[in-house]
Structure 1
Amino acid sequence: MNLSEVLDIDPDLLNYVVIPLLIFFARICDVSINTLRIIFMLHSRKYVATILGFFEAAIWLLAISQIFQNMGSWQTFLAYSGGYAMGIFVGMMIEERLAIGNVVVRVITAKPADELISFFKEQNMRFTNLEATSGDGPVNVLFTVIKRERLPHTVGAIRKHNPQALYTVEGVKKVSDGEVMDDKGFSRRIFRRMS
Structure 2
Amino acid sequence: MFDFLDQYPYLLPVIIFFGRIIDVTLGTLRIIFVSKGEKYKAPIIGFFEVFIWIVIISQIFSRANDLLAYISYAAGYATGNYVGIIIESRIAFGVLVCRIYTNKEPSSLVRMIKNRGYGVTVMEGMGSIMKAWVVEAVVERKALKEIDQYITNFDKNTFYTAEDVRIRQKGIFPEPTSFFNRWRPGK
| 1:170 corresponds to | 163
Runs of 4+ in 1 over 3 A off after TM superposition: 6-9, 178-185
| 1:23 corresponds to | 16
Contact 2:117 2:173 (8 Å CA) reproduced: no
Q: How far apart are residue 183 of structure 1 and its match?
A: 6.9
Structure with higher helix content? 1
Q: Report SS of the residue matched to 1:46.
A: coil
| 2:184 corresponds to | none
| 1:150 corresponds to | 143
| 1:133 corresponds to | 126
Q: How far apart are residue 72 of structure 1 and its match?
A: 2.5
Q: How far apart are residue 178 of structure 1 and its match?
A: 6.1
TM-score normalised according to structure 2 size: 0.87
Identical amino acids, percent of aligned pairs? 34
Contact 2:122 2:133 (8 Å CA) reproduced: yes
Alignment gaps of 5+ in structure 2 = 181-187
Alignment gaps of 5+ in structure 1 = 190-195
The equivalent position to 1:98 in structure 2, one of 91, 101, 113, is 91
Q: Deviations along 1:122-146, whole A, 9 cap, x unmatched?
A: 2232111111222121111111001
**Code of the aligned partner of 2:47:** F
| 1:42 corresponds to | 35
Q: How far apart are residue 71 of structure 1 and its match?
A: 4.5
**Code of the aligned partner of 1:27:** R
The answer to whether residue 36 in structure 2 is matched with residue 58 in structure 1 is no
Q: How far apart are residue 114 of structure 1 and its match?
A: 2.3
Distance in 2 between residues matched to 1:184 and 1:66, nearest whole Å? 44
Cα separation, partners in 2 of 1:79 and 1:72, compared to 1, 3 Å: same
| 1:193 corresponds to | none
Distance in 2 between residues matched to 1:183 and 1:111, nearest whole Å? 32
Q: How far apart are residue 113 of structure 1 and its match?
A: 1.5
Contact 2:117 2:174 (8 Å CA) reproduced: no
Q: How does 1:110-125 map to 2 (within 5 A)?
A: 110-125=103-118
Q: Deviations along 1:138-179, whole A, 9 cap, x unmatched?
A: 111111001111111111110111210001111100011265
Distance in 1 between residues matched to 2:163 and 2:141, nearest whole Å? 10
Q: What CA RMSD, in Å, does the superposition of the two structures yield over aligned residues?
A: 2.4
Q: Deviations along 1:80-115, whole A, 9 cap, x unmatched?
A: 110011101111111111111100001001122222
Q: Report SS of the residue matched to 2:40.
A: helix
**Code of the aligned partner of 2:76:** G
Contact 2:119 2:171 (8 Å CA) reproduced: no
**Code of the aligned partner of 1:39:** I
